[in-house]
Chain A
């Protein structure tokens, strides 16, 4: 399957700071990437769809000014959690679809665990 990486894998920050998470597709071009959030013992919740060269599409209830998404190249999308608060502590996962694939399965990055103190 496709290889997707995320950096950092784990981050601890103070309340009020901003944190940037990178998602890279390592072996293919990804015009579309997806950002999910997963709270403990809960399922993945889609936050936004990131499209290369255009604005991200946010799901209902997700604040676009708080969760800034940039997809400046075909291999990199970034999620910046601005002015993070303890309730933003979660597991953030990106995924992408191989652009050459005729199927829609999504390949997930390893995730980033964010802890806001």
Chain B
């Protein structure tokens, strides 16, 4: 059975802190892994990772994948209150089917 575990479940930090969010997975026919940020409504796309060891960056966010150890991390540096959200990772099982984790709820205090 496909499984995705995100940790920590929730996290409270102060503005300026750096956070690392973890995603471990066991899926059949893995192709890629997606990271999303979900605030009040639908998730917004952050990253897609397909290759191990290649860091993807977007501003203060970065992410990396380890296909051998079956995990990915999402780093956020210099956190801001606007980063408060639920962060979801979703490895694929096949080409289009993505299995979502339950997410890490991040709260950044001013």
Interface residues of A (CB under 8 A from B): 1, 32, 34, 36, 42-46, 49, 93, 97, 103-111
Residue B31 at the chain A interface, CB threshold 8 Å: yes
Interface residues of B (CB under 8 A from A): 31-32, 34, 36, 41-45, 48, 88, 90, 92, 95-103
The complex places the Cα of A43 from the Cα of B103 at a distance, in Å, of 7
The complex places the Cα of A48 from the Cα of B13 at a distance, in Å, of 37
A44 touches B48 (CB 8 A): no
How many whole Å from A115's CB to the nearest CB in chain B?
16
Candidates B41, B96, B102; contact of A34 at CB < 8 Å: B96
> Known contacts being A43-B88, A43-B103, A44-B88, is A106 close to B98, with CB within 8 Å?
yes
Determine the chain A residues whose CB is within 8 A of the CB of B43 once the complex forms. 44, 93, 108
The complex places the Cα of A65 from the Cα of B42 at a distance, in Å, of 26
A43 touches B92 (CB 8 A): no
From DSSP, what is the main secondary structure of chain B's interface residues?
A: loop
Candidates B44, B92, B96, B103; contact of A32 at CB < 8 Å: B96
Candidates A32, A36, A104; contact of B32 at CB < 8 Å: A104
A42 touches B102 (CB 8 A): yes
B96 touches A105 (CB 8 A): no
A43 touches B42 (CB 8 A): no
Candidates B41, B45, B101, B103; contact of A106 at CB < 8 Å: B45
B44 touches A108 (CB 8 A): yes
A49 touches B88 (CB 8 A): no
The complex places the Cα of A74 from the Cα of B34 at a distance, in Å, of 24
How many whole Å from A23's CB to the nearest CB in chain B?
11
A110 touches B100 (CB 8 A): no
B48 touches A103 (CB 8 A): yes
The complex places the Cα of A106 from the Cα of B33 at a distance, in Å, of 11
